[in-house]
Every structure is written in structure tokens, then in C-alpha cells.
Amino acid sequence: MAEASRGASAALDLRGICRRYGDQVVLDGVDLEVLEGEFFSLLGPSGCGKTTLLRIIAGLEAPDEGRVFLAGRDMTHTPPHLRPVNTVFQSYALFPHLTVAGNVAFGLRMRRLPKREIRERVDAALDLVGLRGLAERRPHQLSGGQRQRVALARALVNEPRVLLLDEPLSALDLALRRELRLELVRLQERLGLTCLFVTHDQEEALVLSDRLAVMERGRIRQVGSPEAVYERPISPFVARFIGEANLIPGECRGDGRALTPLGELEFPAGAAPKSSGPLWLAIRPEKLRLFRTEPAQPNRVQARVEGIVYTGSENRYLLDAAGIRLLAETLNHDSEEPGHEEFAAGETLWVVLPPERLVVLADEPPG
């Protein structure tokens, strides 16, 4: 289906990529399409194969099976220096013996552009990342954030069809990471860049991406917009990996009801699996409602406050409900309004799991 329309607006198209190291399967049939001008994140725990996938796209590694299409052309066997992609490496990989300007100019020099054009484009790229004054510095004279910007400028200056980013922010402290994250989005929008961003940081992926893919053990588990993946995860793994989730095991009883250790819980009728059997009910911590007195709402359960974590803007309650641990998050706005009350450790309270907030997930074999 739609084979012809495929690739027309896809900057990157991966089909059935497999990669093995010995008998260890690192990538197990990855299909992925990144559209022109899209910011796409590959999200997964370390060791899920996301960096290997990036290296295969860059041509630094060859897949055992599958094809790599870049801008509509099959480049599976094209060597890295002839591919229209550039990478921002996790360790930045700046050339220590070259200046900042020398680093940024490297790709343009390899393409033998006229000296004047190189100078102009290097200056423009350094302006873009706010490093104009540091052109003559050496990498070891720069801070981590500055090095990161040089690495970004060095890749951007070549105007790649796809910019590959391998956890480029992971070595920076939180404040700087947030700042650079915003800058990256701004640049991407301004330049209309196509970005493939690899990260294990779900917050980063949610903030940055137009779409994202969650990877686990060499496979892509779910692709979608951040909202779609967050609100409607398709498996316990995705639910746990993107954000936090309370996962409650249960047995489907048909007609939108499941028997769980918390008693019988209602869930949206449309979400019911076809057959009865084991399932998981997932609910995000911020979707739980907490009450001091028993509310007249469905899916209410009594629980005890085991612990409280104060994070500034939120209170996080660790609850014990019939032996099931639940995490609840409430906004910290000093309200006694029902559902937003504050509680102390050891208190007994009522938790409501609003049926429309429950996501029904098929049972997934562990491991």
C-alpha cells in the first residue's frame, strides 16, 4: 500500500534493519520513516540499539539486513563520507588540534568549497549557535555547553538532509540541558531541519519531538506524537518508559470491568479487549484523585500514605492500597478543594482511579 507515496516526503526511510553482534541481536527488523522537516526522537533504555541504528544511518556501521533510504535514494551501501547526513556525537568528538573555526570548517573543506564561502558559512554557523567570539579557541578551552554548540555548528554548517543527534545533551547539567534543548527546537524550526534525536531521557523526547519512537531490545514498540504515546501507551513497557505509570494487574470480566487486587475496577467500555483474560490497567500518577472522606465516585479505593516527596511544584505520594503500591502526584497549590488536599505520612485516604483515565494494556510477558 502507498509504496509510491512513501519516500516522497520522507527524509529518511528505514526498512527491516537487522544488526547482530555474534549471536546477540541488536536490531531486530526496524522500520522507520522520518518526514522532511520533522523532529523525530528515538527513545529507549541504554542497550536497546538506538545508537547502533544511528550509526547505520550515518554509514559508520552496516546493517546485516534491511535498507537505508535517504531523501528517496537507497544508500545502504554508500560510505559515510558520501551520505547527506551529519552527526552530533555524544562525546562531541571535536578535533582537539583544530580551533573552533577549524572544526566547523572541516566538512566544507572536505567538499573543497571556495575559501571565502567557507569563511562566510563558518561565521554564520557560529553566529547561529552564539559562539562568534570564540572562533580561534581550541576545544579544551571551552565549557561543556560551548563544546556542544561547536559540535552542533560543525554538523549544521553542512546543511545535512537529516541531522543525527546521539544523546547530545546527556553530558550537561540539568539547567544547561534545558536551555540548549530550547535552543535546539528554535534552530530546528528556523532552519526547517530534519532531526533524528536519540535519547534515553523521556522528558527530552517529549519536549522536543514532533513524533517519537520507543525502542526496546532492538525493536520499535510504538511510534506517535508525544501526546499519543503518553496518553495511549500500547504496552506496560512503553507506559513505564514514557513518564511514570501505575500498573495494576487484572483479569478482564467483559463489559468494561476488571477484577484486580484493588477490587473490581471500571474502565472505558471501548477499551475492553475482545476476549476476557489477564490485562494491565495503567494510570498516570497525576490522574489519580485523593480524598480525605469517601467520595461518591466509581473506582475508589482506600489507601495509606507510605511516603511523601516534596518536589516544589508537586507533592508525590507513595500509597499502599491492598498491597499494591500506587504513586500519586498532586499540584502543590495549597488547596483544600476535594481532590487537591494535602496529606501526611501514615494517613488513610481515598484514591479514585477515574475510569476514563485508565488505559487497558494487553498482558506482556515479563523480560
Partner 1 sequence: MSRRAERTPWLTALALPGAIWLAALVALPALATALISLASRGPFGEPVPPWGLHNYALLLTDPLFARVLTRSLLLGAGTTLLCALVGYPLAFHIAASRRQTLWLLAITIPFFVNFLIRVYAWMLLLQKEGLVNAAAALLGAGPFALLPSALAVWVATVYTFLPFFVLPVYAVVERIDWTLRDAALDLGAPPLRAFTAAVLPQTLPGLAAGAALVFVPAAGTFVIADLLGGGKITLIGNLIQLQFGAAQHWPLGAAASTVLMALALLGLAVCLRAFGAREGGR
Q: Does residue 97 interact with partner 1 by CB under 8 A?
A: yes
Q: What is the CB neighbour count within 10 angstroms for residue 241?
A: 24
Q: Which of 89, 241, 267, 343 binds partner 1 (CB under 8 A)?
A: 89
Of residues 40-79, which lie at the interface with partner 1 (CB under 8 A)?
55, 58-60, 79
Instruction: Compute the least distance from the CB of residue 86 to partner 1, in Å.
Output: 6
DSSP assignment string, 329-357: EEE-S---STBB----TT-EEEEE--GGG
- Count residues binding partner 1 (CB under 8 A): 27
Instruction: Compute the least distance from the CB of residue 151 to partner 1, in Å.
Output: 9
Instruction: Compute the least distance from the CB of residue 107 to partner 1, in Å.
Output: 4
Instruction: Compute the least distance from the CB of residue 221 to partner 1, in Å.
Output: 28
In 3D, which of 109, 358, 151 has the Cα closest to residue 239?
358
Q: Please tell me whether residue 51 adopts helix, strand or coil conformation.
A: helix
Q: Which of 9, 62, 64, 91 binds partner 1 (CB under 8 A)?
A: 91
Q: Does residue 140 interact with partner 1 by CB under 8 A?
A: yes
Instruction: Compute the least distance from the CB of residue 12 to partner 1, in Å.
Output: 15
In angstroms, the Cα distances linking 100 to 110, 119, 157, 188, 259 are 16, 12, 13, 22, 62
Among 9-17, 89-97, 199-207, 267-275, which window interacts with partner 1 (CB under 8 A)?
89-97
DSSP assignment string, 128-189: HTT-GGGTT--GGGS-HHHHHHHHHHHHHTT--SEEEEESTTTTS-HHHHHHHHHHHHHHHH
Q: Does residue 350 interact with partner 1 by CB under 8 A?
A: no
Rounded Cα distance, 35 and 75, in Å: 17
Half-sphere exposure of 126 (CA within 13 A, CB side): 20
Site string for partner 1, 101-130 (x = CB under 8 A): -----xx--xx-------------------
Q: Does residue 143 interact with partner 1 by CB under 8 A?
A: no
Q: Which of 80, 256, 295, 354 binds partner 1 (CB under 8 A)?
A: 80
Q: Please tell me whether residue 263 adopts helix, strand or coil conformation.
A: strand
Instruction: Compute the least distance from the CB of residue 185 to partner 1, in Å.
Output: 23
Q: Does residue 274 interact with partner 1 by CB under 8 A?
A: no
Of residues 156-175, which lie at the interface with partner 1 (CB under 8 A)?
158
Is residue 158 within 8 Å of residue 108, measured between CB atoms?
Answer: yes
Site string for partner 1, 175-214 (x = CB under 8 A): ----------------------------------------
Instruction: Compute the least distance from the CB of residue 55 to partner 1, in Å.
Output: 8
Is residue 18 within 8 Å of residue 64, measured between CB atoms?
Answer: yes
Instruction: Compute the least distance from the CB of residue 87 to partner 1, in Å.
Output: 5
| Pick 58 or 328: Cβ nearer partner 1 | 58
Q: Which of 6, 67, 138, 240 binds partner 1 (CB under 8 A)?
A: 138
Q: In the numeric block, which cell numbers belong to residue 314? A: 508537586
Rounded Cα distance, 322 and 263, in Å: 9
Q: In the numeric block, which cell numbers belong to residue 340? A: 487537591
Report the DSSP beta bridge partners of residue 302: 350
Is residue 284 within 8 Å of residue 357, measured between CB atoms?
Answer: yes
Is residue 332 within 8 Å of residue 312, measured between CB atoms?
Answer: yes
| Pick 94 or 220: Cβ nearer partner 1 | 94
Q: Which of 154, 177, 181, 211 binds partner 1 (CB under 8 A)?
A: 154
DSSP conformation class of 194: -
Among 94-102, 207-215, 257-265, 308-316, which window interacts with partner 1 (CB under 8 A)?
94-102
Residues that bind partner 1 (CB under 8 A): 55, 58-60, 79-82, 85-87, 89, 91, 93-97, 106-107, 110-111, 138, 140, 154-155, 158
